[in-house]
Amino acid sequence: MLKIFNFFKEHPRAKATFATKYVNPKLLNFNPDGKIRIRFSLMPARISAILEPKTSPIIQRVKALNIFIEACYEVHLNFAPIIAYEGWLIEYEKLFEDLDPYINNQYKPFIKAEYIFTYNDKQHERNIAENRLENEALI
């Protein structure tokens, strides 16, 4: 990964961006010079526990935001995938409120976010065909 990061760091015009569900402390040993964007994927912790096994817990990702900004990474938030289920709006509102105290006020103007809704009828059909009932249980 560092070989790829170095390419973008040294390129005069290119910049790298990647989404992650994992907090990798090894990346803190690399100086990205502001040329690498990390997009931490976030969702309500209850849903993450079902859909994202073996990834960094949501609270760990949230606590890493300031640390990666201080290490000269551009940090964005990916709220993805957003799945509409009973109570999803309440859970996302709580997630947004819970984020606020963890992000240093001086960094808030620089953190951008994207919201990705990925669930549709074809995804439903794949879930059923592949017996992904934990995904379907959310709907």
Q: Where are the domains of the chain?
A: 2-136
Q: What is the mean predicted confidence (pLDDT) over 107-123?
A: 86
What is the rounded CA–CA span in Å between residue 60 and residue 125? Answer: 33
Query: What is the DSSP code string of 90-109?
Result: HHHHHHHHHHGGGS-TTTGG
Average of per-residue pLDDT values in the chain? 91
Question: pLDDT tens digits, residue range 40-82?
Answer: 999 999 999 998 999 999 999 999 999 999 999 999 999 998 9
Answer yes or no: CATH 3.40.50.970 is held by domain 2-136: no
Element (H, E) at 36: strand 36-42
What is the rounded CA–CA span in Å between residue 120 and residue 17? Answer: 26
Q: What is the pLDDT of residue 75?
A: 98
| pTM above threshold 0.95 | no
Q: What is the pLDDT of residue 110?
A: 93
Question: pLDDT tens digits, residue range 39-50?
Answer: 999 999 999 999
